[in-house]
Chains A and B, each alone.
Chain A
């Protein structure tokens, strides 16, 4: 019996590359004949399209001209005629707002940014209050910047409340970042009254708030801006105002409607259901027409409701109805165990809702909610049909200017880019938010 000798089996061929760009290309783009054909076809289409756009928009384009006639004489229709868009660019952004007052719009939006900055400051604790104040108080401040004009007693107080909010937000942000205390506690500490009883402390807080409000009133009262009627609002500014108000209104209103629809109280539930179903089963354009043209017929003669206000109300109600159904979807995804657990802990309805159910429901619904926001932002273009000069209508006006008659691809191209930037930014922010909120339950 021959001894068993270990004979190694012959070498296997060296392994094929399993990584690296070349392998990736071979695997994904040129795996077999149909795959290769598709790749080549796709590449051909992409290259043709991109070069056509680049040729038109950059290479053959005219950058300096006095009128479209000059552009046409230079390149005909093969290249873009940008000077018309440059001349109208300010109108695309601000509408027909007087040019010397445009700084007010810029300041108004800058104030919003300033207001929101503390939300991203790591050591600030009162973020919910800051966010709420931005929703509730900022609009008053902004409204005076945008609209201006004669301000009555009530409006002065409201604007002052806005200013008060802004000052409070930054005072809170600073004291919380620097000392870790809320602004009231910090103030009491500075006054050396930390030992005082609760009632005294409360009095100090209230007194300080009131003093700050008086200061705000004194600051606001002498400010005088020329009135810019809403008829002159337009462009991206108007689009942002309408969709901004629509978005900020629709979320809380949607939450309330969704809770109402699931309520056990029959009257509330019926009312909410009727409202939601009514507004959801009618196209936005119909609602806009209804509010714009029919509403004044029902109102007593002589009542003039601003056209922009009517459009905004229509958009808000429509958006709220859609938002309500999205939120309801989120509420239904919460297992009943959560409700039972909350009840067994002794939490009441509002505690259960705000502390247990809504935080979970809203988190699940982020993609749908942001999707709805993006849809709303784009839906606002419909207001151009009732004659408001939003971004779309302004773009159309460029081609009706006698100097630039017929120029419409270029302005719409620019408007497309503007819409893309805004929608993509919203989309990115929502993805970021989702990642941040679900860090605790990452699955792969």
Chain B
């Protein structure tokens, strides 16, 4: 009995230790740099240009947090890490946050010592097939050979979907997207499966994009968003509310162009609160009262980010997708900034 108590106490102490020890905001301020983890270069979300600069939807999230803390979006050190070690790098405090198309799942949220802050992109897995194969639905794929990235939720979803529909398939796996695409184009598999945003981006780079079609079925839910280490709620709040702030800014019509003007003469109390002219939301979070002004001037609002990186960047339209604003038929909905 005593032993149990002792063990329990030790475990409790171990669990309490990181919570007591970490103050990520202070660490980041002291370092003068935000360590933001992205993945291996991926167009649209975290793309690496030949001049060494990073850009993309998830990179903008890092820049937004940096702008909120330092008033400067470029105080970010990008850590490009493979998916295999992404959570460890966050857990061992090498990264302050993780902004890299990571799907929010129960296991990851509850068992890995992570906190998912918000969903800033709704994705879902789909299938890409050649038009002349005559396949028009994923249910026609019985017996097909499917190219799939190994070691991802994609691979598991694929197996689940085929099992649920009592269909057979042969997987062709690789850990390099380009190899899979090349296999698919060379006829090595009948279909290529990945998140639909990825499928669209790859298809646009095919020799003949019109010869391939993304099937209508979405076989999985992939809510993607920034992740922080569990146990530092103040830090999680900062990341979460910078994200929600970006979505609210779009809803309220605050853009990178009119933000200065709106901060000077807020057209509504909501805008005034968002931009720090009223209330003390920023101060209570340990930031400047007008931190959202810096954020929005640096990266724009959510709509601007999407337009820049996803819509023109990799050619995925927003209208009609889940990522449209809730007022426009999508499910993008942020709690009020008040």
A: residues with CB less than 8 A from B are 68-69, 72, 76-77, 87-88, 90-91, 96, 98-99, 229, 231-232, 289, 292-294, 296-297, 301, 304, 307, 385-387, 389, 393, 396-397, 399-402, 405-409
Contact = CB atoms under 8 A, between A and B. Distances in A.
A185 B94 CA distance: 54
Contacts of A91: 50, 52
A293 B47 contact: no
B40 A400 contact: yes
19 contacts: A77-B207, A90-B50, A96-B48, A289-B85, A292-B85, A293-B88, A296-B92, A296-B94, A297-B91, A385-B82, A387-B40, A389-B80, A396-B41, A399-B178, A401-B41, A401-B50, A402-B43, A402-B201, A405-B43
Contact of B47 (A231, A292, A304, A400): A400
Given A396-B176, A402-B313, A402-B314, A387 B50 contact: no
B202 A405 contact: yes
B178 A406 contact: yes
B48 A397 contact: yes
A99 B92 CA distance: 32
B73 to A, nearest CB: 18
Interface string B34-55: 0000001111100111111000
B85 A76 contact: no
Contact of A387 (B52, B81, B204): B81
A98 B77 CA distance: 15
A292 B89 CA distance: 9
A363 to B, nearest CB: 42
Task: Using C-beta atoms within 8 Å of the partner chain, give the interface range for chain B.
Answer: 35 or more
A88 B77 CA distance: 22
Contact of B205 (A99, A232, A292, A405): A405
Nearest to A84: B50
- What are the 4 closest A-B residue pairs judged by CB atoms, nearest first? A96-B52, A405-B205, A400-B41, A408-B178
A116 B94 CA distance: 39
Contacts of A405: 43, 201-202, 204-205
A296 B85 CA distance: 13
Contacts of B202: 405-406
B121 to A, nearest CB: 17
Contacts of B84: 385
B292 interface: no
Nearest to B77: A231
A436 to B, nearest CB: 43
